[in-house]
A and B are shown apart, each in its own frame.
Chain A
Amino acid sequence: MTRDTPPPEELWALLQRLTHVSRLATMGEMAAGIAHELNQPLTAIASYAQACDWLLARGSTDTAEIRDALQQITAQGLRAGEIIRRLRNLVRTPDTHRVLTDCNELIQELKGLALTDARVHNVRLDLDLAPSLPQVIVNRGEIQQVVLNLLRNAVEALESMPPERRHILLRTGATPEGMVEIGVFDTGPGVDRKIVDRLFAPFVTTKPSGAGLGLAISRSIVEAHRGTLRYRPEGTGGAGFMFCLPHAQGGA
């Protein structure tokens, strides 16, 4: 041991801060998708309200129609609120607790956001969630951040592909050893051979505006959960990233 190595608890806190920063950065990258998703209910609210105004100004007596529009305004207001609630859950301040979790549930929570992000980039995102997964003991926010990082990378990798060849598959399953595996597979150009070996090192990036921290942080998070994160080139030429987490009985 040298004096230069910080104590483990300091490293731990640093990783958590970095994770939070990385999460906020991801949200920034996904801003277009978030704005788009919020715009839908706002557009509907504005149009319903303006329609009611016109109907009343013209002396409409069709109260059923006006009431229906007002109820729609309420429903769309709640819809917008739900989108914001989901976002808040994803960017909430880091929580150090690890809890018994079903990974499929974690993915369901971020599904709406992920699908919108895929949609605004003209990407098809399919989910293939194994029906009954062993539970894991994890920090939910951190694991969600890993999934979002992998999805974001896939979406960006697909930008160079023609729209009909932009496809991502997010899959969960159990390995024969009883680990829970989450994989993100895309039909993009794959990882450049020149950087494959250093893929998980910090500050290695192929993105023009990337800091090269996403995969490094993701691997640290997964390893802190006694799991593994690895890359596998896909037969189709695309990239596959998958990580395993030990199931709860494994005593994490």
Chain B
Amino acid sequence: MTKDPQAIVVVVDDDEAVRSSTRLLLKSVGLPALTYSSAQEFLDNHDPQQPGCVVLDVRMPGMSGLELQQLLNLRGAIIPVIFITGHGDIPMAVEAMQHGAFDFLQKPFRDQDLLDRVQRALEKDAVNRVQMREKHRIRERLDSLTPREREILDLMTRGKPNKVMAADLGVSQRTVEIHRARVMEKMGASSLAQLVRMVMDLDQASLATETGAANLAAR
């Protein structure tokens, strides 16, 4: 298992003074930060594997912060986004939150308000990444099952007893037991309950991504 590189706070704002002052503020409390002057520059340079969070100005010439957020959503990005808004931008902030922004903050902001949000966003990102890796592992194990084992797993998670499975598949109960043991072993599950949870987590995750993308595409 690979260890994530150190988390970085990415600041995207078109105003040079806002960018460098925010970077210094983050640095002064020991948080490494990286700045980009436009949404495009962020897209061109940001590595999705890089853990951290984004502090994003809602109004920028060219691609706005909201447009960047939608693009990131379409790409299935998991990095939490904290929006920075000016006065009177509340409708924009609401829209950002509806599209899954982590939080928002009004300019000018108190250091503690920014730092608290950044801290929580970084924690959220770390949890997201662990969950993503875990799902990835389950997916890999699932893919390693033979078609017959996959069939057995589906019946197991639907709570069918061995006797019924044997009848359904036209094999002996002994054969079912052997497959069953192999499924548990390959999936790394120590109980039927754990196995069911793994499969459910995966289903929900893939379902959520699909609906999210479909919703956005339909807009």
- B18 proximal to A (CB < 8 A): yes
Of A39-47, A139-147, A207-215, A240-248, the one contacting chain B is A39-47
CB B40 to nearest CB in A, in angstroms, measures 14
Nearest B-chain residue to A60, judged by Cβ = B28
Complex CA gap A65/B25 in Å reads 12
Complex CA gap A84/B75 in Å reads 42
Of B94-102, B104-112, B205-213, the one contacting chain A is B104-112
- B70 proximal to A (CB < 8 A): no
- B29 proximal to A (CB < 8 A): yes
- B180 proximal to A (CB < 8 A): no
CB A163 to nearest CB in B, in angstroms, measures 8
Complex CA gap A79/B15 in Å reads 13
The reply to whether B25 and A40 contact each other, CB–CB distance below 8 Å, is no
Cβ contacts under 8 Å, B111 to chain A = 46-47, 50-51, 53-54
In this complex, how many residues of chain B approach chain A with their Cβ under 8 Å: the count is: 22
- B21 proximal to A (CB < 8 A): yes
Cβ contacts under 8 Å, A79 to chain B = 17
The listed residue (B21, B27, B61, B64) touching A43 by CB distance below 8 A is B21
Complex CA gap A39/B109 in Å reads 10
In this complex, how many residues of chain A approach chain B with their Cβ under 8 Å: the count is: 32
- B22 proximal to A (CB < 8 A): yes
The reply to whether B88 and A32 contact each other, CB–CB distance below 8 Å, is yes
Nearest B-chain residue to A32, judged by Cβ = B88
Nearest B-chain residue to A31, judged by Cβ = B88
Interface mask (B82-123 → A, CB under 8 Å = 1, otherwise 0) = 000011100000000000000000011111000000000000
Cβ contacts under 8 Å, A119 to chain B = 59, 61
- A153 proximal to B (CB < 8 A): no
The listed residue (A39, A47, A60) touching B87 by CB distance below 8 A is A39
Nearest B-chain residue to A121, judged by Cβ = B59
**Contact residues, A37-71 vs B (CB, 8 A):** 39-48, 50-55, 58, 60, 65, 69
- B20 proximal to A (CB < 8 A): yes
The reply to whether B59 and A54 contact each other, CB–CB distance below 8 Å, is no
Complex CA gap A35/B106 in Å reads 12
Taking A40-B18, A51-B28, A53-B111 as known contacts, 17 extra A-B pairs with beta carbons closer than 8 A to each other, sorted by chain A number, are A32-B86, A35-B88, A36-B59, A36-B86, A39-B86, A39-B108, A40-B15, A44-B18, A46-B109, A47-B111, A50-B28, A54-B25, A54-B29, A72-B20, A72-B21, A120-B59, A120-B86
